[in-house]
């Protein structure tokens, strides 16, 4: 028996959204508060956050975590937000305070980056009741110590080595929840899923890239 195809509804003014690759549906997903999360959109662009079909948004960026940025994202997000709270330059009490603020704003989880030490994770774990996601950037990371400190989910982002590192973690921690960077192609996404990733992050195209395609369409009809 063929699996039924759900009907698709779009409005007159919302015909274009950022679509997640269908292959991501092949992973198991991670259940957070009863909601299954498989596809995670990596962006902080509020226009894109308001127009996509991902299960969640990964809101991390290369600056000190800011309450104003998080509030802006939470205002437009219609899906769970996984909020970056530092862990590199921003550590200790400030990361813990940012985590508590994120929880109070409705974030589904907080995300700490690669350099985050055990002490900072323990500080965060004392003050929040939402999951802590640790970003694995190298196979040399002491994952066991960070899990023991309070990490609930691993987010593997190791560039070209991501699938291999996911496979190694899955061997060492068979049941632990893993998110992984999917990469730019269907093949790279499939590789991390087959390696054991439960959910996949997908980098959104930039606002400029999306506008370029739309402007080309406008130019074709300029003479109409």
Name the burial class of residue 223, with classes exposed (0-12), middle (13-18) and buried (19+) by CB atoms within 10 angstroms of its CB: exposed
**Chunked in runs of 10, what are the mean pLDDT values of the chain (224 residues)?**
77 81 96 97 94 96 92 96 89 92 97 94 96 96 96 96 97 97 92 98 83 74 64
Given this model, what pLDDT does residue 144 score?
Answer: 96
Residue 212, token pair as written in the block:
């370029």
For residue 223, the model assigns a pLDDT of 58
Longest CA span, the chain: 64
Q: For residue 38, give both structure tokens.
A: 């498989």
- Domains, the chain, ordered by start: 22-219 (3.20.20.60)
End-to-end CA distance of the chain: 47
Instruction: Say what the pLDDT of residue 210 is.
Output: 76
Q: How much is the pLDDT for 145?
A: 97
pTM: 0.92
């Amino acid at each position: 028996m063929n699996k039924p195809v759900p009907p698709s509804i779009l409005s007159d003014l919302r015909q274009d959204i950022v679509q997640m690759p269908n292959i991501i549906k092949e992973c198991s997903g991670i259940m957070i508060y009863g909601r299954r999360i498989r596809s995670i959109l990596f962006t902080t662009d509020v226009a894109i956050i308001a127009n996509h079909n991902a299960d969640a948004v990964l809101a991390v960026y290369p600056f000190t975590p800011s309450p104003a940025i998080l509030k802006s994202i939470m205002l437009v997000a219609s899906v769970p937000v996984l909020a970056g709270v530092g862990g590199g330059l921003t550590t200790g009490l400030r990361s813990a305070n940012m985590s508590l603020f994120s929880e109070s704003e409705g974030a589904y989880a907080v995300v700490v980056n690669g350099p985050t030490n055990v002490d900072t994770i323990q500080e965060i774990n004392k003050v929040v009741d939402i999951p802590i996601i640790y970003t694995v950037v190298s196979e040399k990371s002491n994952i066991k110590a960070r899990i023991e400190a309070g990490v609930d989910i691993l987010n593997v982002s190791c560039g070209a080595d991501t699938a291999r590192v996911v496979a190694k973690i899955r061997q060492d921690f068979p049941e632990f929840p893993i998110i992984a960077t999917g990469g730019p192609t269907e093949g790279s996404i499939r590789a991390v899923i087959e390696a054991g990733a439960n959910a996949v992050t997908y980098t959104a195209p930039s606002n400029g890239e999306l506008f370029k395609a739309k402007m080309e369409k406008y130019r074709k009809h300029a003479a109409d």
